[in-house]
């Protein structure tokens, strides 16, 4: 009966006035008990005076509670702050009582109100203990009676016995939506191991074994360490993915809502958390100086990289920001996002960079100082048999933007390229390499500073492998991998965009900036870890299907072309490629010829691309027949030689 009553009212909160009434009754009872204690549990005191004093004591406690507001806390969520408020209320109550008693003794206003000071001290202690204990007893009673039977109990381990871990434990146990039992902390600090925090034991990392997890019936391990680096996090998580547990992570303190951790913020560890790299500063003085008071154009501004460039530029003191994209819906979404975040000094423009007249008008109207060119077609399999479109946007579109930047005296033109432009094996990569070459040619004009940035795959970008794997897991699999040995470099979208801005700020023209992508990741291992992080087993729950390399796809990507080397910069993650020399006049002439041929749907455009980029050898594609055998053998030898050096970091 009692259980059903509490269960039916589980979602309701006790009235604060009811809590206030109970607190006053508790103080009154404590006052009576203090007399019994002082007089050795006998009635050897004036009982009539006691009952005359009780209403005054109740009134004083009412005043103290109203002033401090200790009755306003939600009893089921009683915490340290509530205890602190109770302490303040009791202190205020005691001070008022002592002042009244002393004044009454001096002026003898009411003889019945001559309370011994010892009684006041005992009463204060009893009241504080009683009010605090009653709240915690109710809290424990609520959790044990109401939540038992209504919710499933799950045992949780918290990795990290510091402040963040303690806050996490509090957030878990105070949650009314689920029944969670924290069975222990895990910490490598030997001074904490073996001790108890809030009655919960601290274990050493060595307990994280399958036997311990099964014995304790652990269903979740939550990482709550604020200063852990991603390499150590990856090692720890990978040691758990084979166990039957979900691995979750607590966000950084700065992401907590109003400084308080909410249960909804404790998320399951994502593969991005393991591939992520050390965070870098979003605001940089060199970038700030470069964009201060400038008119900036970002093409492809609604895409993965372009939109993040826009978000980061918005934090600086620029004059005007023009965001260009032909994707109307994506541009609208970005516009609404920026407005909601308080950014208004930007101009969204729906336009196609291939439309020279439209772009010419844009340059005339806004007279930009900086152009970040991120617009491109990027999907390798699609572009392999849509060479016309790939050339039109990636080469001709880039050419339009370069020519107009030169004509209107733009200070800097920053081009976002890709590692697929290095020794390209597909149409998309070849078009990006040709765009790089055209930019190098334009740099010789000596007016605008043309800068190229080159990096690998971006985590979470449109069409990238991780969102694809997530969708396949949601559908029950299988996950599709093109080859067991295929590897890729990864970088987060914010980091890639930050480094593009950094390279743009430091560039003096003519450089190809290479970003340090860290170690390459085996996609097959990536797929297995994503399955395990989802709480599933490979291959029992979800299998991985090898589909074969797609047209134009490589087993591995490179950041340097044959004949290139690197020089360091002041930023440890940015290097400058020492590209081989080009015959700029001949190269530019061939690129012009390619763009004209493409306008007339010339079927020989791919052949012309292979002449412009001799290292462009098609792979796993119908276009392989366009490669001369001798050229294949020559370039294959160079690529093989390059592959033997891939393990060497770029900055060495």
Question: Which residues form the catalytic set?
Answer: 420
Residue 164 · residue 187 · CB < 8 Å: no
What residues are paired with 413 via a beta bridge? Answer: 371, 450
Q: Which of 104, 100, 21 is nearest to 58 (CA)?
A: 21
Q: What are 321's two structure tokens?
A: 């920001």
Select from 498, 460, 490 the least CA-distant residue to 281.
498
Mapping DSSP to helix (H, G, I), strand (E, B) and coil, where does residue 114 land? coil
Whole-angstrom Cα distance, residue 447 to residue 444? 8
Q: 3-state DSSP helix/strand/coil percent for the chain, to nearest 5?
A: 50, 15, 35
Round to whole Å and give the CA distance between 366 and 363: 5
> Under 8 Å CB-to-CB from 377, ≥6 apart: which residues?
383, 386, 389, 390, 393, 394, 428, 431
Compute CA distances 538 → 133, 243, 330, 456, 527, whole Å: 50, 12, 36, 28, 9
Task: Give, rounded to a whole angstrom, the gap between the first and last alpha carbons of the chain.
Answer: 74
* β-pair type (487-488, 521-522): antiparallel
Q: Which of the 8 DSSP states describes residue 346?
A: E
Nearest Cα neighbor of 392 from 418, 420, 431 is: 431
Distance CA 625, CA 615 (A): 15
């Amino acid at each position: 009966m009692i259980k059903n009553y509490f269960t039916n009212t589980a979602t309701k909160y006790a009235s604060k006035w009811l809590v206030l009434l109970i607190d006053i009754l508790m103080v009154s009872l404590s006052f009576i008990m203090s007399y019994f204690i002082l007089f050795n549990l006998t009635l050897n005191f004036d009982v009539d005076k006691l009952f005359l004093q009780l209403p005054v004591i109740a009134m004083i406690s009412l005043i103290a509670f109203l002033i401090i507001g200790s009755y306003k806390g939600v009893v089921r969520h009683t915490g340290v702050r509530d205890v602190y408020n109770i302490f303040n209320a009791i202190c205020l109550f005691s001070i008022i009582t002592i002042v009244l008693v002393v004044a009454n003794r001096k002026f003898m206003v009411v003889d019945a109100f001559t309370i011994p000071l010892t009684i006041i001290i005992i009463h204060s202690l009893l009241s504080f203990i009683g009010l605090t204990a009653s709240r915690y007893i109710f809290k424990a009673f609520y959790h044990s009676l109401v939540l038992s039977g209504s919710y499933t109990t799950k045992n949780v381990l918290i990795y990290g016995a510091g402040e963040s871990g303690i806050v996490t434990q509090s957030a878990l146990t105070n949650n009314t939506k689920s029944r969670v039992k924290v069975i222990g902390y895990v910490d490598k600090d030997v001074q904490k191991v073996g001790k108890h925090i809030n009655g919960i034991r601290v274990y050493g990392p060595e307990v994280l074994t399958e036997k311990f997890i099964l014995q304790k019936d652990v269903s979740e391990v939550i990482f709550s360490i604020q200063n852990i680096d991603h390499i150590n996090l990856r090692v720890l998580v990978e040691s758990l993915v084979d166990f039957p547990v979900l691995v979750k992570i607590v966000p950084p303190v700065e992401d907590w809502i109003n400084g308080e951790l909410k249960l909804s913020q404790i998320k399951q560890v994502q593969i991005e958390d393991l591939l992520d790299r050390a965070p870098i500063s979003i605001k940089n003085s060199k970038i700030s100086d470069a964009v201060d008071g400038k008119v900036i154009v970002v093409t492809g501004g609604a895409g993965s990289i372009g939109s993040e460039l826009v978000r980061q530029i918005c934090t600086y003191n620029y004059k005007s920001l023009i965001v260009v994209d032909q994707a109307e819906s994506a541009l609208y979404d970005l516009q609404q996002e920026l407005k909601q975040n308080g950014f208004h000094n930007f101009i969204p423009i729906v336009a196609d960079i291939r439309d020279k007249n439209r772009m010419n008008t844009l340059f005339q109207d806004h007279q930009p100082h900086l152009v970040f060119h991120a617009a491109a077609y990027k999907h390798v399999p699609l572009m392999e048999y849509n060479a016309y479109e790939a050339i039109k946007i990636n080469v001709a579109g880039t050419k339009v933007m370069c020519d107009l930047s030169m004509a209107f005296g733009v200070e800097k033109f920053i081009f976002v390229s890709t590692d697929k432009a290095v020794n390209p094996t597909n149409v998309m990569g070849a078009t990006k390499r040709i765009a790089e070459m055209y930019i190098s040619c334009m740099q010789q004009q000596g007016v605008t500073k043309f800068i190229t940035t080159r990096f690998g795959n971006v985590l979470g970008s449109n069409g990238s492998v991780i969102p694809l794997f997530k969708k396949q897991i949601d559908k029950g699999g299988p996950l599709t991998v093109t080859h067991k040995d295929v590897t890729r470099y990864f970088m987060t979208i914010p980091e890639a965009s930050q480094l593009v801005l950094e390279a743009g700020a430091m560039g003096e023209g003519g450089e190809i900036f290479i970003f340090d992508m860290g170690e390459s990741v085996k996609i097959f291992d990536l797929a297995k870890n994503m399955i395990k992080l989802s709480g599933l087993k490979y291959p029992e729950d979800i299998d991985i299907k090898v589909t074969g390399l797609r047209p134009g796809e490589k087993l591995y990507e490179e950041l340097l072309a044959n004949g290139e080397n690197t020089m360091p910069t002041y930023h440890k993650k940015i290097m400058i490629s020492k590209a081989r020399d080009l015959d700029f006049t001949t190269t530019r002439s061939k690129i012009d010829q390619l763009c004209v041929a493409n306008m007339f749907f010339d079927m020989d455009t791919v052949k012309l691309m292979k002449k412009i980029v001799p290292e462009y050898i098609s792979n796993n594609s119908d276009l392989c027949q366009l490669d001369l055998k001798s050229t294949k053998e020559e370039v294959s030898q160079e690529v093989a030689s390059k592959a033997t050096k891939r393990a060497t970091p770029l900055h060495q």
